[in-house]
Amino acid sequence: MKAFPGSRRIPIAKAMLLAAGLVAAVFLSVLNWNLAEAESPGQPASVKAENEGSDKEGAKPGFEELKGRWRRPDGGYIIEVRNVDATGKMDVAYFNPRPINVSKAEATREGSATNVFIELRDAGYPGSSYTLTYDPQSNQLKGIYFQAVMQQNFEVVFFRIR
């Protein structure tokens, strides 16, 4: 008895479907296990944080509040705080409205106050700087802008825009 030329394809196709189903089942099982572990409804949030080896360990309180975009209403200047590490080193962008080089940005804690220092080094900004304090009640950054060209200080406020 002769086999038809296409008759071998059916078992191969079934085997491929079975293998794909098996891979999908394993993937979904791992995904569900990871989701269940992340949610851990019976475990308090403080215990979860202690058990996780995240980069938040050692992070200074209040620095997370600095992340976001901040606008100075008297001209539309923007500070974008992208990240603040546990040592206070900040990843910041500054716009007026185009990007201006940020040469230094750091956050510090003095008692309950969260302070920010940002230094600008670019054309027209030879060392101009912001010395700001985060006000949690108003959700604002308030402080002094040092305009290096004129050697003058100006009181400024930044409002969170996101």
Question: What confidence tens digit (pLDDT) does each residue in 24-68 have?
Answer: 443 334 333 333 333 333 333 333 333 333 344 444 455 999 999
pTM for the full predicted model: 0.63
Residue 154 has pLDDT above 80, yes or no: yes
Domain spanning 63-160, CATH architecture: Beta Barrel (2.40)
Q: Over 90: is that where the pLDDT of 94 sits?
A: yes
Name which residue leads in pLDDT, 130 or 15.
Answer: 130
Side-chain-facing half-sphere of 123: CA atoms under 13 Å:
2
The SS3 of residue 17 is helix
